[in-house]
Each structure stands twice: as structure tokens, then as C-alpha cells.
């Protein structure tokens, strides 16, 4: 796939040159258990070109002026992976003639998603009636079979074409401790255990400092695999060129690497359950949780970043 920074023929040019009057910032929002998803984009009217004209192998910066972004404060489960809490630059990609995707820059990092970006496969249909401007909505699914999971559809309509991608937002619990808020996520046990067996990192919790340490990010994700635990800063989109500039170089300065010790349990639980959270800003974060018939004790030192925290 070509770089998202490459021009996308006439379609991209149309949006980049949209008049300021058409660049009103719009929001599509969805809330679930005190967490939520927000897609923010610049309004633009439909012109001569259409989403289905996007060339194979290219991406579309849908929305006018400043880049479209997706912010989520809870994990989003997709068909192939998971999007951790964070703030991401969003594109629409067309990797093959028949396939369209929502691409989130940086959301695939650590998630074994095949690269730094997360891609969510969508379905292209025809809107009736067609829209006169770019419209994005987040709609709840018609059924909720799991009380801790909420399905939603992201619908992007530009004229006649409409791209629909399916997501699931995860329920959560919260605790204030050690000068921070720890939000932990009620991930479904079979899904989480499968990722653990495949040695894939998964966001079990997020940490938000009430007052971040000097020169440090305020928000972190706690990622756990079968072999370790990592506390990493949440992703943020670039700001150069209205967000169209290059992604910042990946650094490990603020990463913290710790241990994840797994053991067996006699009784299974349906979702991740956190039994204990301890946080000493000058020492470590400790979290004890259960999923399925397994228990995990996570200990992450907070004093200094460790070497070797790359991908």
C-alpha cells in the first residue's frame, strides 16, 4: 500500500482544496459505560468525485482541512485485532479492487496487527438517499448478547457510496490510586485467552496521571502478553500540516517493561476481573486479574525505562 501521505488523485485534491466555509468540524460520538469513541472530521460537500473512485493501493484523507481522527478511551475489538485506547489519525484505504478499510495510524503497534497501523475491513454499499456532504455516524448494533460488550457500526457516507465498519467497545471498571486513575477492561475471556496463547499483547488497562511526571505523557496503556507486561504511552496523531505530516519517530523513552506471571484457576470467569491494583509512582504498578481459568499477576517498575522496548 502506498503511503497515506501520497496524493490520492482527484478525490484527495478535491478535499484538500475545499473552501474554508465547508471546513466546519463535525463529531460522531458513541458512549458506553463512561467511556466512548469520537470521530472528528471536517465537513465537506460532495463534488464531482466519489469514494468508489479511490485507486487500489491508495488511501483517502476523508474530511476537509485538519485530518480526521478517532479517539477511544476503551479498547475496540475488531474482527482481526484490537484498537487500544488512544487518539489516532484515520484514513480510508482500498488495498484491493473489492476491499475497503478504515485505517488507524499507530493503533496496530504492539497488537500483532501486521504493522503499526490497524485496519478494519468494511463493506461498501449505496446510500439511499445519497448525502450532500460527508457524513459519519456511530450507531449501536441491534443486538447486545454480552452485557460487557457493545457492538457499533461506523458509517461513512459521501454521496452515494457508504462504507460501514463494525467495532465492539469493551466495558470497564475504574480505581483511583497513587495519583492516577486506572481503568481496567472487561475483555471476554475466550477472546483474551486466545490472544495470550498466540503471544499477542492486549490492553488490559489504561493509566491516567492526575498530574503527569515532568516531561512525561499523561496517558498510558498497560499491555499484557504470555511473557511480559508493558506500560506504553497512548498514541496521539501528528499535528504538522493539519495532521497530514509524518508520524513521530517511535521512541521507548517512557516505556516501562515488567512481568506477567500466569497461573491456573479451578473456576472460570466470563470476562476479565481485576482483584487488586497497587500503584507507587516511585516504585511500580501491580495488578492482579483473572480471565477464563487463568490468573495473572502484573508488575511493572515505574522508576526507569528499560532498554529493548522496541517492537
CA–CA separation, 222 and 75 (whole Å) = 11
Domain ranges of the chain: 9-170, 172-301
CA–CA separation, 237 and 243 (whole Å) = 7
Is residue 238 within 8 A of residue 247, CB to CB? The reply is yes
Residue 78: its pLDDT value, please?
93
- Which of 146, 172, 141, 182 lies closest to 270, judged by CA? 146
Q: What is the mean pLDDT of each run of 10 residues along the chain (311 residues)?
A: 39 41 80 95 89 92 91 95 96 94 94 91 95 95 90 96 96 96 98 95 97 88 96 89 76 93 96 98 96 98 63 42
Q: How many residues does the chain have?
A: 311
Residue 233: its pLDDT value, please?
96
CA–CA separation, 233 and 158 (whole Å) = 34
- Beta strand 100-104 pairing with 118-126: antiparallel
Amino acid at each position: 500500500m502506498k503511503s497515506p501521505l501520497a496524493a490520492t488523485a482527484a478525490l484527495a485534491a478535491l478535499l484538500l482544496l475545499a473552501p474554508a466555509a465547508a471546513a466546519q468540524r463535525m463529531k460522531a460520538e458513541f458512549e458506553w459505560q463512561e467511556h466512548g469513541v469520537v470521530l472528528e472530521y471536517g465537513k465537506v460537500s460532495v463534488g464531482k468525485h466519489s469514494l468508489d473512485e479511490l485507486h487500489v493501493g491508495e488511501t483517502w484523507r476523508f474530511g476537509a482541512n485538519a485530518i480526521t481522527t478517532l479517539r477511544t478511551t476503551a479498547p475496540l475489538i475488531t474482527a482481526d485485532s484490537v484498537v487500544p485506547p488512544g487518539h489516532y489519525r484515520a484514513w480510508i484505504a482500498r488495498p484491493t479492487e473489492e476491499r475497503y478499510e478504515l485505517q488507524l495510524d499507530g493503533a496496530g503497534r504492539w497488537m500483532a496487527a501486521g504493522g503499526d497501523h490497524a485496519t478494519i475491513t468494511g463493506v461498501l454499499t449505496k446510500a439511499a438517499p445519497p448525502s450532500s456532504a460527508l457524513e459519519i455516524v456511530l450507531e449501536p448494533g441491534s443486538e447486545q448478547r454480552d452485557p460487557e460488550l457493545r457492538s457499533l457500526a461506523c458509517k461513512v457516507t459521501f454521496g452515494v457510496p457508504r462504507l460501514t465498519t463494525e467495532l465492539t467497545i469493551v466495558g470497564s471498571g475504574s480505581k483511583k490510586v497513587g495519583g492516577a486513575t486506572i481503568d481496567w477492561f472487561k475483555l471476554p475471556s475466550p477472546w483474551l485467552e486466545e490472544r495470550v496463547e498466540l503471544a499477542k499483547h492486549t490492553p488490559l488497562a489504561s493509566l491516567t496521571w492526575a498530574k503527569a511526571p515532568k516531561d512525561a505523557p499523561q496517558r498510558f496503556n498497560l499491555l499484557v502478553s504470555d511473557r511480559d507486561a508493558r506500560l506504553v504511552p497512548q498514541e496521539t496523531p501528528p499535528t504538522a500540516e493539519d495532521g497530514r505530516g509524518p508520524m513521530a519517530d517511535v521512541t521507548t523513552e517512557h516505556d516501562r517493561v515488567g512481568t506477567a506471571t500466569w497461573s491456573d484457576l479451578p473456576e472460570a470467569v466470563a470476562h476479565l476481573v481485576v482483584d487488586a491494583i497497587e500503584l507507587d509512582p516511585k516504585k511500580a504498578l501491580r495488578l492482579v486479574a483473572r480471565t477464563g481459568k487463568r490468573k495473572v499477576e502484573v508488575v511493572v517498575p515505574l522508576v526507569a525505562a528499560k532498554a529493548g522496548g522496541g517492537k
